Amino acid sequence: MNLHHDFSLRAVQHAADAAWTPSPLPGVTRRMLDRVGDEVARATSIVRYAADSRFEAHTHPGGEEILVLDGVFSDENGDYPAGTYLRNPPGSRHAPFSREGCTLFVKLWQFAADDLTPVHIDTTTAEWRPGLVPGLSVLPLHEHHGVSTALVRWAPETQFQMHTHPGGEEILVLEGVFRDEDGVYPAGSWLRNPRWSRHTPYTGAEGALIYVKVGAIDAPTVPLPV
């Protein structure tokens, strides 16, 4: 199946409009955000594990990126509570499960072939840096060949200047309400802006916390199997 598969177009999905679909395994459901392919796919999803649900051991030929949104996600290598950021590189293998249930933001088949370093960050204890304007703070998560991923915290009533994203931009709103001239995006909203898109983002009284990835549109990735 294809969903928001034309990366030259802007895509927006709000949590209030979410449709949850079952995965191949009981207790694991998915809110699909973008997808190119069927069960093996370049995919961005919100994945929800019910308590005591699990996947059998499997390999990620195209890599897997995870941000734990709530609960505790686990595999044979450890437990990952809410706020954990993980990158399992191409060729990695694990058997994931959740004892109490959890919700994850997951990206599959979106690694460069030479991006082989595992990443494990506890964002609840990591050090944040000042942003480019007052009211912004940034927690870098990953950078490889011009594709950068970070958490960005916006204080209430923060305004950023108009700017361009040559390689596009993807945002998941984790807390608060994010805004720009094209819309209002409460927590749970996902948006993807194409290459060379421009906007002037800001926040109101709520402030916001967002996951943001820039430079990934059309970036080389491990190819899906034919």
Residues 118, 137, single domain; the answer is: no
User: How high is the pLDDT of residue 87?
Assistant: 98
Number of domains in the chain: 2
Query: Tens digit of pLDDT for each residue in 130-153?
Result: 999 999 999 999 999 999 999 999
Structure tokens at 210: 């967002």
Going by pLDDT thresholds of 50, 70 and 90, the confidence category of residue 226 is confident
Same domain, 103 and 79: yes
- What residue has token string 């109490």? 100
- Parallel, antiparallel, or unpaired for β 41-49 and 11-13? unpaired
Amino acid 142: pLDDT: 98
Residue 144 sits in the same domain as residue 114: no
Distance CA 195, CA 73 (A): 33
Of 58, 93, 122, the residue at which a domain comes to its end is 122
- Quote the CA–CA distance of 47 and 38 in Å, as a whole number: 16
| 203 and 158 Cβ atoms separated by less than 8 Å | yes
* pLDDT for the residue 63: 98
Q: Among 94, 179, 129, which Cα is nearest to 106's? A: 94
Which tens digit of pLDDT belongs to each residue from 57-114?
999 999 999 999 999 999 999 999 999 999 999 999 999 999 999 999 999 999 999 9
CATH code of the domain containing 87: 2.60.120.10
Exposure of 96 in the CB half-sphere (CA atoms within 13 A): 25
The answer to whether 129 touches 139, Cβ cutoff 8 Å, is yes
How many residues belong to the chain?
226
The rounded percent of the chain whose pLDDT value lies above 70 is 100
Residue that is last in its domain, among 122, 143, 169: 122
Alpha helices in the chain (DSSP H): none
Same domain, 145 and 177: yes
Cβ contacts of residue 196 below 8 Å, gap of 6+?
164, 165, 166
Write a three-state SS string for 130-151.
Answer: ECCCCCEEEEEEEEECCEEEEE
- Let me know the angle formed at the C-alpha of 22 by 21 and 27, rounded to the nearest 5 degrees: 130
**Last residue of one domain, picked from the residues 122, 146, 164:** 122
Q: Is 54 among the domain residues?
A: yes
Q: List the alpha helices (DSSP H) in 20-133.
A: none
Q: Are residues 25 and 105 in the same domain?
A: yes
* 152 and 76 assigned to the same domain: no
Query: Which pLDDT does position 42 carry in this prediction?
Result: 97
Question: What DSSP state is assigned to residue 78?
Answer: E
| Domain hosting residue 202, numbered range | 129-214
Residues 99-116 have pLDDT tens digits of 999 999 999 999 999 999
Instruction: Using alpha carbons, select from 63, 213, 66, 221 the residue that is nearest to residue 147.
Output: 213
* 225 within domain boundaries: no
Regarding whether 174 and 146 lie in a shared domain, the answer is yes
Q: pTM score, two decimals?
A: 0.97
Query: What does the alpha-carbon distance between residue 186 and residue 179 come to, in Å, rounded to a whole number?
Result: 8
